[in-house]
Amino acid sequence: MNIKLVDLDHRKGEPLAFQVTLDPAELKERHQEIRGLTTVETKGEAAKLGNLYHVKGAMEANVDFVCARCLKPFTEHMIVPFAETFATPEAGSEVDEESDIHLLEGEVIELNPLLQEDFLLAMPSFPLCAEDCEGLCPVCGINRNEGRCSCDTRRIDPRLAALADFFGKDEE
């Protein structure tokens, strides 16, 4: 979706509401942790204040992940807020390389590419089914959120085991 600058110029600061949906297939393709997702429903508003154009709002979608610790698939309702500022080249001095202000090249604000970036940046790179997910037992593979086992996982790392032996002998 594109927002015409002229539409905002005419509104004298009065916000213009917009709604847009993002294609889930492309987003899924671009983030390896996204296993599936619904259409991303986006609501926001755009306004011109001074020489700058502001766009803000939130995106919402149900996203399927696989827990990085216990490998269980789960779905999370994600709400991703966004806020972006734009300026035309004429605004000149207010825009420098280091500011977060996007320089506009044409007569419109192209929303979709920016919204896609914001959405992807908000996705977890280490998704967890729960913050305190206990993961899988490294010995027998049981999901520790669902059951207990009696494996001795203290000895799982051979380097640590060797170290334990070493200190053990030292004390004798």
Residue count, binding to Zn ion (CB under 5 A): 10
- The smaller minimum CB distance to Zn ion, of residues 54 and 69, is found at 69
DSSP the chain: -EEEHHHHHTTTT--EEEEEEE-HHHHHHH-TT--EE--EEEEEEEEEETTEEEEEEEEEEEEEEE-TTT--EEEEEEEEEEEEEEE-GGGGGG--TTSSEEEP-SSEEEHHHHHHHHHHHTS-SS--SSTT---B-TTT--BTTT------GGG-SHHHHHHHHHHHHHH-
> What is the closest distance, in whole angstroms, from the C-beta atom of residue 74 to Zn ion in the complex?
7
Interface with Zn ion includes 70 (CB under 5 A)? Answer: yes
Q: Which of residues 39-68 bind Zn ion (CB under 5 A)?
A: 67
- The smaller minimum CB distance to Zn ion, of residues 140 and 161, is found at 140
Q: Which of residues 102-161 bind Zn ion (CB under 5 A)?
A: 129, 133, 137, 139-140, 149, 151
- The smaller minimum CB distance to Zn ion, of residues 12 and 148, is found at 148
Interface residues with Zn ion (CB under 5 A) are 67, 69-70, 129, 133, 137, 139-140, 149, 151
